[in-house]
A = this chain, B = another copy of it.
Amino acid sequence: MDGSAGLADAFKQCEYPVVGHGRRNLGMLLEALEGADALQDADMYGKGKIIEDFQAKIAAFVGKPAAAFFPSGTMAQQIALRIWCDEKKSKRVAFHPLCHLEIHEEDGLKELHGIQPTLLGDADRLIRVEDVRALGEEEDTACLLLELPQREIGGQLPPYEELEAIAELCRSRGIRLHLDGARLFEILPYYGKSAADICSLFDSVYVSFYKGLGGIAGAILAGEASFVADANIWKRRHGGDLISLYPYIISSDYYFELRVGRMAQYYEEARELAALFNGCPSVRTVPAEPVSSMFHVHAERSKGAFEAALEAVCRRTGIGLSSWVKATGEHSSAFEATVGDRYAGVPKDKLREAFRVLGEELSAR
């Protein structure tokens, strides 16, 4: 068994996995369906109480007039950008170099929509208002996509005032502002704002129901009624207007209700957990102090060495800190941590012991 499988295996079997809500298994769906009314009608091609009610509920939560439920954020966000491009008769958008559309979607935006992104700013930092100001007007950018928090750099957030300045600049330049809010719920405690407050800065908003909320799959795209009407046409074109989406809608609603109120707790716990990592030799978190339920953990060790240390912690203490590590250099590596329901159930003394062992294991490698 190689190091990687060894760590995954150790994490799977450990007594106290520290990150996440729980295993992704059929129990997640069964729990969401407990008490479901068998006689409730399915949604049919976007119509019906079950889909319309949920769309209205999330539209209200994010403070937009309308919303459409999508099977995936990949589909929802390409469509949002396409609508803004068509509005401006442009094929140009702007986003972060590590935007989900740039690195995780097999270039769907380019291959299906012929849209060319301007990669704004540097990969290792947030987009700044200066980056937006430097966007040449000649490029005819139809839309700027901002991801809050910026997942691939640990879930960082700009100061709220900078967000407001970017929104103001986009408005004055006629650039639509789209929110990749895959983890929008997770940032509300840090900003101390409502979702509607934050979304009021954006023309269109995508939120996910399986990231911090821990649902099965599904997304909402929200905006003005005409925007959402167009989005529904594009949803059909993409093959996302399924005859029935209710398995995802019911579970999205269930986990939204279960966890949206726990985001302040996850945020606080994430800061606590990050502090423990930062107390270890050769380890640091990004951000140094988390601004949501997530952060990245970097070690000045090779992937193999960090994996071996984490696996040893797992096997010696029963505490699972991560199931995987990725190389960031020959002698450096990292993983992503997201705090969910599991954290509160981990005994604090065992957790402290695990970090003592982690320090020991890292020092030995």
Enumerate chain A interface residues (CB-CB to B < 8 A). Answer: 23-30, 33, 36-42, 44, 70-76, 78, 105-108, 111-113, 210, 216-217, 233-234, 236-248, 250-251
Smallest CB-CB separation from A108: which chain B residue? B237
| Distance of A196 Cα from B158 Cα, bound (Å) | 57
B residues in contact with A23, CB < 8 Å? 39, 41
Q: How far is the CA of A243 from the CA of B238 in the complex (A)?
A: 17
Is A39's CB under 8 angstroms from B26's CB?
yes
Contacts A70-B239, A237-B112 hold; do A36 and B26 have CB atoms under 8 A apart?
A: yes
Residue of B nearest to A28 (CB): B42
Q: How far is the CA of A68 from the CA of B245 in the complex (A)?
A: 19
In-complex Cβ contact of A74 among B70, B76, B113, B236 (8 A)? B236
Copies in the complex: 2
- Asked if A241 meets B41 with Cβ closer than 8 Å, knowing A26-B246, A33-B29, A106-B236, the reply is no
Q: A217 contacts which chain B residues (CB < 8 A)?
A: 242-245
Nearest CB on B from A359, distance (A):
32
Query: Is A111 a contact partner of B237 (Cβ separation < 8 A)?
Result: yes
CB distance A74 to B247 under 8 Å? no
**A247:B38 contact, CB within 8 angstroms:** no
Do B237 and A216 touch (CB < 8 A)? no
A345 to B247, CA, bound (A): 29
Beyond the given A26-B36, A106-B234, A216-B246, could you list 4 further A-B residue pairs with CB under 8 A, ordered by the A residue number?
A71-B240, A72-B239, A217-B245, A239-B240
A-B contacts, 23 of them at CB < 8 A, read A24-B244, A25-B38, A25-B41, A26-B37, A26-B38, A26-B42, A26-B250, A27-B39, A28-B42, A30-B38, A70-B239, A71-B242, A75-B239, A105-B236, A105-B237, A106-B233, A107-B237, A111-B237, A112-B112, A210-B243, A210-B244, A217-B242, A247-B251
Q: Given that A108-B237, A238-B112, A239-B72 are contacting pairs, would A40 and B24 also be in contact in the complex, using a CB cutoff of 8 Å? A: no
* A72:B242 contact, CB within 8 angstroms: yes
User: What are the 4 closest A-B residue pairs judged by CB atoms, nearest first?
Assistant: A75-B239, A108-B237, A27-B38, A247-B247
- CA A108 – CA B243 in complex, angstroms? 17
* CA gap between A38 and B34 in the complex, in Å: 12
A25 to B233, CA, bound (A): 25
The chain B residue sitting closest to A250, CB to CB, is B26
Question: Are B108's CB and A247's CB within 8 A?
Answer: no
CA A213 – CA B299 in complex, angstroms? 53
Q: Which of A37, A73, A112, A113 has the most CB of B within 10 A?
A: A112
- Which residues of the other chain, B, contact A106 by a CB distance below 8 angstroms? 233-234, 236-237
A28 CA to B247 CA, complexed, in Å: 11
> Which B residues are in CB contact (< 8 Å) with A44?
24
What are the residues of chain B within 8 A of A37 when measuring CB–CB? 26
Give chain B residues whose Cβ lies under 8 Å from the Cβ of A107: 237
